[in-house]
Amino acid sequence: MSLLHLAILLPFFAALLIPLIYTWTKKIHTGWLVLPIPVILFIYFLSYIPKTAYEATTASFNWIPRYGINFTVVVDGLSLLFALLITGIGSLVVFYSIFYLGKNKERLNNFYAFLMVFMTAMLGVVLSDNLIVLYLFWELTSISSFLLIGYWYHRERSRYGARKAMTITVFGGLMMLGGFILLHIMTDSYSLREILAAGPAISNHAFFIPAMILILLGAFTKSAQVPFHIWLPDAMEAPTPVSAYLHSATMVKAGLYIVARFTPLFAVSGVWFTVVSVVGIITLLWGSINATKKNDLKAILAYSTISQLGLIMTLLGIGAASLHFDSLSNNLYAAAVVAAVFHLFNHATFKGSLFMMVGIVDHETGTRDIRRLGGLMRIMPVTATIAFIGTFAMAGIPPFNGFLSKEMFFESLVEITHLNLWNVETWGILLPVIAWVASVFTFVYSMIIFFKTFTGKIKPYLLPKKPHEASLGLILPPAILAALVVIIGFFPNLIAAPILEPAVKAILPTLSGADDFSIHIGFWHGFTPALLMTIGVVIVGIFLYKTHRFWKPFLTVKIPKWLRIGKAYDNSMFYMEQGAYRLTMYVMTGWLRTYLNYMLFSFIVLVLGTLVITDSLNFDFSNLTQVTVVDGVLAAVILVTLIGIVFSKSRITSIILLGAMGYTISIFFVIASAPDLALTQLVIETISVVLYLLVFYHLPQFSNIEEKPKFLSVKTLLSIGVGITITLLALSAYDTTFYESISQYYIDNVYKEAAGKNIVNVILVDFRGFDTLFETAVLAIASIGIFAMIKLRLTKRRRKHENE
């Protein structure tokens, strides 16, 4: 196992140790012991920056090679970008949480264990080359995020948000798994690199489009695209460090990673371009409009995150067009992928700082409601500065990094209207129009966050706590992110060549061989359409912000319940739970005989169905042994005892007759020269009869109420069905063989390999020794349980007598 594998699994191993460390270190905050892990990983992945400029680094660990499932990891430009975000922002979040979460008030062992498991899951997703391993890490992100979102499990809203997030994202994960399986069917490989290389060969396969749609479902659910966005606002019930980590830089970006990674494979189809672009632009508009309706700062940031994810998704969809051009000079649409990667980085910086800023405001004032806040700039000037940088970067105002990537976004949308492909020249004009409208609302909610919180008059009488500036520990992490926003805004080319170029080449492999491909980002490109769109956004945005109180009520008009996606989810969950409850109450009667009926009916259906489907109803009586008079007498005795058991009115009589029937069957084994089976049967029957008699002696007699016999009752039909099924199964098994018998192997090897002459004993002790060992262990556990129950009962009786 390589260092890369250990880097992925290091946080997981730390999560296993955190509960032990937590019990030993009561005087120090657990976060200080956890902090070195993401820091070390961040430094480790920084060392790969020079390498990814030339080639990808690969390491493989054989896991289940027979089925093509190996733990293969690849570090290229795209996976390295995500790994740096996961570990870099993860380090800041851990540091921030040390001061945000009180050492004596929170279950820190759980928090940091969940956080480290999530870090491992995200690293596994972005670095795995094997699709099955990627899927395992993908679902681990859903499980660990469920635990983090529901960290404050005593709150009903936290539990609701956690369940909602897990339900939707796990559904998407299962859909994505279906897509992976279809890719495996088409390519006979689980390796992502091999599948991408086989793209042209499978583009016309019947499973190509279904695989694409299933994989997109997984990506859209994880990245909160419409209509699967409804889980993200409710996930804001998690602690602010969780929101800053999961919902700005990592988990919600996993879907974007999947779309970017599979772009070289699916971009040959216009379906990919259309679906990804349209879903992205709708999400961008929907999220930005809804953000202006909210009064809670985290709710505004939640919908802003949805909107920004839609922006990046739109860029990735538009960038798919670049794979349809051979020469770099005509490959103008590659700029959309550059913008997507650049904005992905920028969004992580300014949105991470904003989430932490909101956490500071909540921590120091006791509220996030903008109707109660205001005038905090004078009391919290450093926090206000961080908020100013983050909100203006999100709004796309110079000189911050968000302005640069937003300009590239506008340029890409304008350029797409000239694309003579997939009929975009007709409907494509809607993309820049919708994007411009969404950007106006983005400007509005960005201004709401800053000005409603930090300007105006302070309202101390509405604040649960007396506000004051936060401690250095809370200020430092968002300040570092805000500094990156400013530095990258002024010097964007610091990350262009080392980080952005390798990531873009990983998404667009056609650029890998282009020696003249380079990314240069500048502020001024003249009076371009993109700049004019930005000026229009600012002018209209200022007007809408100033008149916000007049038009906001029109947005808050209640939508009919049947049109509300969130309400549809709640209703579906409610009716599913009610239906499941009613079905359970109907099926689970509490009577063992009812459950036995279910099992017998299932047995009949499954066995008879299998016999019919596999064409196994074969009867050959030519080699059967002839029936003798002794066989007939024994069969008659068994039949008589069976009738006696059915019609007996006494449990004791029924038990004795059942034992008699078992002893009679053992005589058949003696006649058939199977003394081992006969001896086993006799021992089992003796023990069973004795135990039954000991138990049933203390039970009341049968009811004296006589039931009228019903020949066509359920019991009768099931009895007849089981009898017919067993008979057909026995007769068919005699003449049906799917595989070569293993009996000859035992005959040839029992004495040679195990030096035993009793073939049955040797099989049980040597060839199937583990089975016997486990059976013995089960008997031992059952014996201990019985002994404990008897001893407990005797102890209670002894205490009762002593008290008397």
- Distance, CA of 28 to CA of 103 (rounded, Å): 8
pLDDT of residue 558: 67
pLDDT of residue 268: 87
Give percent of the chain with pLDDT exceeding 90: 54
pLDDT of residue 329: 41
**If you ran DSSP here, which 8-state letter would residue 75 be given?**
E
Q: Encode pLDDT of 74-103 as tens digits.
A: 999 999 999 999 999 999 999 999 999 877
pLDDT of residue 421: 73
- Distance, CA of 795 to CA of 512 (rounded, Å): 78
Instruction: Please determine, for residue 330, whether its predicted confidence score (pLDDT) is greater than 50.
Output: no
Spatial contact of 222 and 251, defined as CB atoms under 8 Å apart = yes
* pLDDT band, very low/low/confident/very high, at 491 (cuts 50, 70, 90): very high
> Tokens 């996030």 sit at which residue?
368
The secondary structure element, H or E, covering residue 668 is helix 651-671
- Give Cβ neighbours of residue 639 (< 8 Å, ≥ 6 apart): none
Q: What is the DSSP string of 259-280?
A: HHHHHHHHTTSHHHHHHHHHHH
Q: Encode pLDDT of 367-390 as tens digits.
A: 999 999 999 999 999 999 999 999
C-alpha count within 13 angstroms, C-beta hemisphere, residue 134: 29
Instruction: Please determine, for residue 705, whether its predicted confidence score (pLDDT) is greater than 50.
Output: no
Instruction: Please determine, for residue 351, whether its predicted confidence score (pLDDT) is greater than 60.
Output: yes
Instruction: Please determine, for residue 802, whether its predicted confidence score (pLDDT) is greater than 80.
Output: no
* pLDDT band, very low/low/confident/very high, at 512 (cuts 50, 70, 90): low
Long-range own/partner contacts, residues 197-201 (CB < 8 A, 24 or more apart): 199/264, 199/265, 199/268, 200/268
> Tokens 């009919």 sit at which residue?
560
Helix ranges, 672-768 (H) = 675-696, 714-735, 743-754, 759-762
Spatial contact of 638 and 663, defined as CB atoms under 8 Å apart = no
Question: Which residues are paired to 59 by β-bridges?
Answer: 73
Chain-centroid distance of CA 632 in Å reads 62
User: Which of the two residues, 309 and 788, has the higher pLDDT score?
Assistant: 309
pLDDT of residue 800: 62
Instruction: Please determine, for residue 24, whether its predicted confidence score (pLDDT) is greater than 50.
Output: yes
Instruction: Please determine, for residue 662, whether its predicted confidence score (pLDDT) is greater than 50.
Output: yes
Q: Using N-to-C axis directions, what is the helix angle for 297-319 and 334-365, rounded to 10°? A: 170
Exposure string (b/e) for 739-762, b if CB count within 10 Å is 16 or more?
A: eeeeeeebeeebeeebeeeebeeb
Q: Encode pLDDT of 179-212 as tens digits.
A: 999 999 999 999 999 999 888 889 889 999 999 9
Instruction: Please determine, for residue 536, whether its predicted confidence score (pLDDT) is greater than 90.
Output: yes
Spatial contact of 302 and 247, defined as CB atoms under 8 Å apart = yes
Spatial contact of 355 and 301, defined as CB atoms under 8 Å apart = yes
pLDDT of residue 116: 95
Q: Which range has the worst mean pLDDT, 345-359, 570-584, 737-751?
A: 737-751
Instruction: Please determine, for residue 453, whether its predicted confidence score (pLDDT) is greater than 90.
Output: yes
pLDDT of residue 338: 92
Spatial contact of 364 and 357, defined as CB atoms under 8 Å apart = no
Q: Which range has the worst mean pLDDT, 165-174, 390-399, 454-463?
A: 454-463
- Distance, CA of 113 to CA of 90 (rounded, Å): 13
Q: What is the DSSP string of 463-531?
A: -SS---PPPHHHHHHHHHHHHHHHHHHH-THHHIIIIIHHHHHHH-GGGTT-TT------S---S-HHH
Q: What is the DSSP string of 4-61?
A: HHHHHHHHHHHHHHHHHHHHH-SSS-HHHHHTHHHHHHHHHHHTTHHHHTT--EEEEE
Chain-centroid distance of CA 269 in Å reads 28
Q: Encode pLDDT of 766-794 as tens digits.
A: 887 888 888 889 989 988 988 887 777 66
Question: Which residues are paired to 72 by β-bridges?
Answer: 60
- Distance, CA of 368 to CA of 295 (rounded, Å): 8
User: Which of the two residues, 138 and 335, has the higher pLDDT score?
Assistant: 138
Phi, psi of 105 (to 5 degrees): -105, -20
User: Taking Cα atoms as reference points, which of 733, 80, 1 lies closest to residue 345?
Assistant: 80
Q: Using N-to-C axis directions, what is the helix angle for 592-613 and 714-735, rounded to 10°? A: 40
Exposure string (b/e) for 423-454, b if CB count within 10 Å is 16 or more?
A: ebeeebeebbebbbbbbbbbbbbbbbbbbbbb
CA-angle at 454, arms to 448 and 459, nearest 5° = 105
Region of 558 (left: φ > 0; alpha: ψ -120 to 50; beta: rest) is: beta
Chain-centroid distance of CA 52 in Å reads 29
**If you ran DSSP here, which 8-state letter would residue 228 be given?**
G
pLDDT of residue 43: 96
- Distance, CA of 57 to CA of 49 (rounded, Å): 11
Burial class of residue 699 (count of CB atoms within 10 Å of its CB; 0-12, 13-18, 19+): exposed
- Longest alpha-carbon distance in the chain: 109
3-state class (DSSP) for residue 625: coil
Burial class of residue 154 (count of CB atoms within 10 Å of its CB; 0-12, 13-18, 19+): exposed
- The one-letter amino acid at 266: F
3-state class (DSSP) for residue 185: helix
CA-angle at 687, arms to 684 and 688, nearest 5° = 80
Q: Encode pLDDT of 212-265 as tens digits.
A: 999 999 999 999 999 999 999 999 988 999 999 987 778 899 999 999 999 999
Phi, psi of 375 (to 5 degrees): 70, 20
**If you ran DSSP here, which 8-state letter would residue 129 be given?**
-
CA-angle at 771, arms to 770 and 772, nearest 5° = 90
Instruction: Please determine, for residue 416, whether its predicted confidence score (pLDDT) is greater than 90.
Output: no
Q: Encode pLDDT of 664-702 as tens digits.
A: 989 988 888 888 888 888 988 888 888 877 777 666 655
pLDDT of residue 730: 86
- Distance, CA of 341 to CA of 519 (rounded, Å): 12
- Distance, CA of 637 to CA of 154 (rounded, Å): 66
Mean pLDDT score, 632-643: 90
- Distance, CA of 726 to CA of 724 (rounded, Å): 6
Tokens, residue 206? 């019947």
Whole-structure pTM value: 0.81
Mean pLDDT score, 548-556: 83
3-state percent breakdown (helix, strand, coil) of the chain, nearest 5: 75, 0, 25
- Give Cβ neighbours of residue 555 (< 8 Å, ≥ 6 apart): 289, 292, 293
Tokens, residue 333? 């649409």
The secondary structure element, H or E, covering residue 74 is strand 69-75
pLDDT of residue 328: 45
CA distances for 686 relative to 229, 655, 666, 670, angstroms: 65, 11, 12, 17
The secondary structure element, H or E, covering residue 73 is strand 69-75
Q: What is the average pLDDT value for the chain, to the nearest integer?
A: 88
- Distance, CA of 280 to CA of 438 (rounded, Å): 12
